[in-house]
A = this chain, B = another copy of it.
Amino acid sequence: MDASPAARPSDAPLVRRLRGESVDAPPSVWFMRQAGRSLPEYRAVREGTSMLESCLMPALASEITLQPVRRHGVDAGIFFSDIVVPAKLAGLEVEIVPGRGPVFASPIRTRADIDALPPLGDATEEALAPIREAVGLTVAELGATPLIGFCGAPFTVASYMVEGGPSRDHLRTRALMREDPEAWDRLASWVAELSGRFLRAQVLAGASAVQLFDSWVGSLSAEVYTRHVQRHSAAVLSAVSDLDVPRIHFGVGASHLLREMHAAGATTMGVDHRMPLDEAIRILGGDVPVQGNIDPAVLFTGEDARYAEARAVLAAGASAPEHVVNLGHGVPPETDPAVLTDLVAFLHAQSA
Q: How far is the CB of A270 from chain B (nearest CB, A)?
A: 15
The answer for the CA separation of A343 and B135 in the assembled complex, in Å, is 53
Q: Judge if A223 is at the interface, Cβ distance under 8 Å.
A: yes
User: Do A175 and B298 have beta carbons less than 8 Å apart?
Assistant: yes
Q: Which of A281-325 contact B (CB under 8 A)?
A: 295-302, 305, 309
Contact B276–A221 (Cβ < 8 Å): yes
Q: Which of A178, A220, A223, A300 has the most CB of B within 10 A?
A: A178
- Cβ of A296 to closest chain B Cβ, rounded Å: 6
A233 contacts partner chain B, Cβ-Cβ < 8 Å: no
Asked if A164 lies at the interface with its beta carbon under 8 angstroms from chain B, I say no
Q: Is A274's CB under 8 angstroms from B218's CB? A: yes
Q: Given A175-B301, A253-B253, A301-B178, decide whether A276 and B223 contact each other with a Cβ distance below 8 A.
A: yes
| B169 lies within 8 A of A253 (CB) | no
| Chain A interface mostly | helix
Instruction: Check B332–A171 contact: CB distance below 8 A.
Output: yes
Given contacts A174-B297, A302-B179, contact A332 B169 (CB under 8 A): yes
Distance to closest chain B CB from A174 (angstroms) = 4
Min CB distance, A137 to chain B, in Å?
33
User: Contacts A273-B221, A274-B220: A297 and B175 contacting too (C-beta < 8 A)?
Assistant: yes
Asked if A329 is at the interface (CB within 8 A of a chain B CB), the reply is yes
- Check A178 against B297 for contact (C-beta < 8 Å): yes
Q: Check A219 for interface membership: any CB of B closer than 8 A.
A: yes
Choose one: B274, B302, B332; the contact of A219 (CB below 8 Å). Answer: B274
Residues of B within 8 A of A169 (CB): 296-297, 329, 332
Give complex CA distance A223, B273 in Å. Answer: 11
A299 to chain B, nearest CB (A): 8
Find the B residue at minimum CB distance from A168: B332
Is the CB of A275 closer than 8 A to any CB of chain B?
A: yes
CA distance A242 to B276 in the complex (A): 36
CB distance from A307 to the nearest CB of B (A): 11
* Closest residue on chain B to residue A335 by CB atoms: B171
Q: Report Cα–Cα, A143/B172, bound state, in Å.
A: 38
**A248-289 interface mask toward B, CB cutoff 8 Å, 1 = contact, 0 = none?**
000001011000000000000000011110000000000000
Asked if B178 and A298 make an inter-chain contact with CB atoms under 8 angstroms apart, the answer reads yes
Residue of B nearest to A170 (CB): B297
Which of the residues B219, B256, B309, B329 comes within 8 Å of A275, measured between beta carbons? B256
The 8 Å CB contact of A179, one of B219, B275, B301, B329, is B301
Q: Which 3 A-B pairs have the closest CB atoms?
A: A174-B297, A175-B300, A179-B301
- Could you name 22 residue pairs across A and B whose Cβ atoms are closer than 8 Å? A169-B296, A169-B297, A169-B329, A171-B297, A171-B300, A172-B300, A175-B297, A175-B298, A175-B299, A175-B300, A177-B297, A178-B295, A178-B309, A179-B301, A179-B305, A219-B253, A219-B274, A221-B295, A223-B276, A224-B295, A253-B253, A256-B256
